[in-house]
Amino acid sequence: MLYPLLFCIFAKQLYYFYNNLKPNYVRNKYIIILLLHLSTTLFAQTVEIGSCITKDGGNYYGQMFRGKPNGKGKTTYKKGDVYEGEYIRGMREGKGTYTFADGEKYRGQWFQNQQHGQGVYYFSNGNRYDGLWYKDYQQGLGTMYYYNGDKYIGNWEHDKRSGQGKYIFSNGAYYDGSWKMI
């Protein structure tokens, strides 16, 4: 490769430069600066654009590092699902949008291939959940907008209303109180 040759040339120049400087503090200052520059240039990641087949059978196209999706990209799966967003070491991680073949869609944060963090899920029946997710579950504070005009604002646990929350009916009536998971 080219890196060992460049390193040898750089080391030789560094040796001559080092020996020509008189005071030690100036010498040390320049050595530190040069070593920092060397480490950032030699070990910088190169981002490639490419395509591959993912572990779950999808066709990926986008930024890659060492043969794995890393950065921004798009995956189309066999059943028609599509994910477009960020990847880290081959996994959906960061911000992204997953569109299911049946029309449902999740737009939000991902962690290790799971809906995790803040996100919005659009259901095929017209409902929409906007809130926190934990390992693919609606968990924490969130709001569900129902297709009939009703709305629930409150806590969720494993996709169910749980804890404090307020359910507002489309006619204006509401229930504000505690919810139990059944």
Q: Where are the domains of the chain?
A: 2-42, 48-179
3-state secondary structure of 76: strand
3-state secondary structure of 59: strand
Task: Give the Cα separation of 119 and 134 in Å (integer).
Answer: 10
pLDDT tens sequence for the chain (182 residues):
445 555 556 566 656 665 665 555 555 666 666 666 555 555 556 668 888 888 778 899 999 988 889 999 999 998 899 999 999 988 999 999 999 999 999 999 999 999 999 999 999 999 999 999 999 999 999 999 999 999 999 999 999 999 999 999 999 999 999 988 77
pLDDT given at position 169:
95
CB 86 within 8 Å of CB 71:
yes
The single-letter code of the amino acid at 23 is: P
pLDDT given at position 181:
73
Fold of 48-179: 2.20.110
| Residue 161 dihedral angles phi and psi, to the nearest 5° | -65, 130
| Placement of tokens 């654009």 in the chain | 49
CB 50 within 8 Å of CB 64:
yes
